[in-house]
């Protein structure tokens, strides 16, 4: 039967229902932007309470839309880490409760595995984003507000971190620089809009890590440079020019890191992006050019599937159920749960 996915690890509450072949039957996301905006960032306690208030209704909504009764489900997949512990407990406990009540298999999904496997959703083939199923191994660039890493996706549950940020995540860099420039939170989309009318060559900015070996990232120096320029800005054009310069440097640095990451994974079949920053057109274009140089496609899922959602959690659940991997109801949510640790795990509850 269909698989219900539940996501409550950060500031999006989401539920989705997927058919066993991965076809999306219904999906719903409720952003907590309004709750957190007064504080300029995500407040964990507020997030947990909002997940608790809204997750049951979202789950009922997707079930109702698809006309599926709980007893008809083939399993429940809930994000169990990494993320904010309050929300993880809400999502995983709700999922376990449904699994107990209706005697269904339960899958504790690693949120990052959800991002990693999104590229393999049938929707991407059906909409022509990719030609066939994206085959292992491939390079994943996870570019969000909380994560910034290059990952070798070698198989289900088999991930190798090739590099990651030494300080801020790239989305965090967008958010912090945008805030310094007086833009509203979350800063990424606002900064991209402003950058559209700017001259990226006007302000020279540092290009952290450019040309260095490996594929680690660093963004704090860039943020400092932005902080030093902000007091000198006199008008709207100056601000647009700085936004454009910032976005350009980030795109150039990401492309440079991606090139080295591909060199570390010579048999990669594709370059895949995930995370909110994948919405940025400048970043996408730079990465597409880099992938093209290596003769590989850039796989960029639709933006709603790049940011946090439950479709990816249900899909990771389906891939795990197919492999016979389910979890016990005593599985404890983990606020820290690196992808690489999945590889080391024994098959959980494998028959």
Annotated binding site for Fe cation: 111, 115, 308
Nearer to Fe ion, 10 or 181 (CB): 10
192 binds, among ligand ATP, Mg ion, Fe ion, none (CB under 5 to 8 A by kind): ligand ATP
CB of 274 to ligand ATP, least distance (A): 8
The residue (of 30 and 239) whose beta carbon lies closer to Mg ion is 30
Of 319, 311, 306, which is closest to residue 107 (Cα–Cα)? Answer: 319
Using rule CB under 5 A, residue 172 touches Fe ion: no
CA distance readout (Å), 314 to 92, 109, 145:
13, 9, 22
CB of 113 to Fe ion, least distance (A): 11
Degrees, nearest 5: CA angle 67-124-94:
45
SS3 325: coil
CB 180 within 8 A of CB 194: no
User: Which stretch of DSSP H or E encloses residue 85?
Assistant: helix 85-102
Per rule CB under 5 A, is residue 12 in the interface with Fe ion? no
CB 8 within 8 A of CB 51: yes
Strand (E) or helix (H) holding 143: strand 138-143
From the CA atom positions of the chain, what is the Rg in Å? 20
Minimum distance from residue 348 beta carbon to Fe ion (Å)? 22
Q: How far apart are CA 50 and CA 307, in angstroms?
A: 18
Based on CB atoms, which residue is closest to Fe ion, 308 or 327?
308
Query: Stretches 80-88, 230-238, 300-308, 317-325: which one binds Fe ion (CB under 5 A)?
Result: 300-308
Which residue number has the CB closest to Fe ion? Answer: 308
**Nearer Cβ to ligand ATP (52/195):** 195
Which residues in the 269-308 window bind Mg ion by CB under 5 A?
308
Q: Across the strands, what pairs with 299? A: 272
Torsion sign, CA atoms 195, 201, 204, 205: positive
CB of 168 to ligand ATP, least distance (A): 10
| Beta strands 12-18; 3-7: pairing state | antiparallel
The window from 8-16, 130-138, 195-203, 249-257 that contacts Mg ion (CB under 5 A) reads 8-16
Structure tokens at 272: 């895949």
86 vs 171 by CB, closer to ligand ATP: 171
Q: Closest Cα to residue 334, out of 91, 159, 168, 162? A: 91
Q: Which residues bind ligand ATP (CB under 6 A)?
A: 10-11, 83, 144-147, 171, 174-175, 186-189, 192, 275-277, 279-280, 307-308
The residue range among 58-66, 260-268, 278-286, 307-315 that interacts with Fe ion, by the rule CB under 5 A, is: 307-315
- φ, ψ of residue 208 in degrees (nearest 5): -60, 135
Nearest distance in Å: CB 9, Fe ion? 7
Least Å from the CB of residue 331 to Mg ion: 23
Interacting residue with Fe ion among 308, 310, 333, 337 (CB under 5 A): 308
- Which tokens is 270 given? 């594709």
- Choose between 11 and 319: whose C-beta lies nearer to Mg ion: 11
Smallest distance from ligand ATP to CB 313, Å: 12
Cα–Cα distance, 102 to 105 (Å, whole number): 9
Q: Note the residues at the interface with Mg ion (CB under 5 A).
A: 10-11, 308
Q: Note the residues at the interface with Fe ion (CB under 5 A).
A: 308
């Amino acid at each position: 039967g269909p698989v219900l996915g539940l996501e409550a690890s950060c500031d999006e509450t989401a539920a989705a229902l997927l058919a066993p072949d991965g076809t999306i039957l219904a999906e719903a996301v409720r952003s907590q932007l309004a709750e957190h905006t007064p504080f300029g960032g995500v407040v964990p306690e507020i997030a947990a309470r909002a997940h608790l208030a809204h997750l049951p209704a979202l789950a009922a909504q997707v079930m109702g839309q698809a006309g599926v009764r709980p007893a008809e489900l083939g399993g429940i997949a809930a994000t169990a880490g990494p993320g904010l512990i309050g929300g993880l407990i809400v999502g995983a406990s709700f999922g376990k409760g449904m699994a107990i009540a209706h005697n269904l298999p339960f899958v504790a999904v690693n949120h990052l595995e959800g991002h990693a496997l999104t590229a393999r959703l049938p929707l991407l083939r059906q909409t022509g984003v990719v030609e066939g199923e994206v085959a292992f191994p491939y390079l994943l660039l996870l570019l969000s507000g909380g994560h910034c890493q290059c990952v070798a996706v070698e198989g289900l549950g088999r991930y190798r971190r090739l590099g990651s940020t030494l300080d801020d995540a790239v989305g965090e860099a967008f958010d912090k620089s945008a805030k310094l420039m007086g833009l509203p939170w979350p800063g990424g989309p606002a900064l991209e809009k402003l950058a559209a009318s700017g001259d990226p060559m006007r302000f020279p900015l540092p290009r952290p890590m450019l040309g260095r070996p490996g594929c680690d990232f660093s963004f704090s120096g860039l943020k400092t440079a932005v902080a030093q320029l902000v007091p000198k800005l006199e008008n709207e054009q100056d601000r647009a020019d700085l936004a454009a310069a910032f976005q350009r440097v980030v795109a150039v640095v990401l492309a440079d890191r991606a090139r080295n990451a591909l060199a570390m994974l010579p048999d990669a079949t594709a370059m895949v992006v995930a995370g909110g920053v994948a919405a940025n057109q400048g970043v996408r274009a730079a990465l597409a050019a880099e992938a093209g140089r290596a003769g590989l496609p850039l796989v960029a899922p639709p933006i709603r599937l790049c940011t946090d959602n439950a479709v990816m959690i249900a899909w990771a659940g389906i891939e795990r159920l197919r492999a016979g991997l389910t979890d016990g109801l005593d599985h404890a949510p983990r606020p820290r749960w690196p992808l690489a640790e999945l590889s080391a795990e024994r098959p959980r509850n494998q028959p």
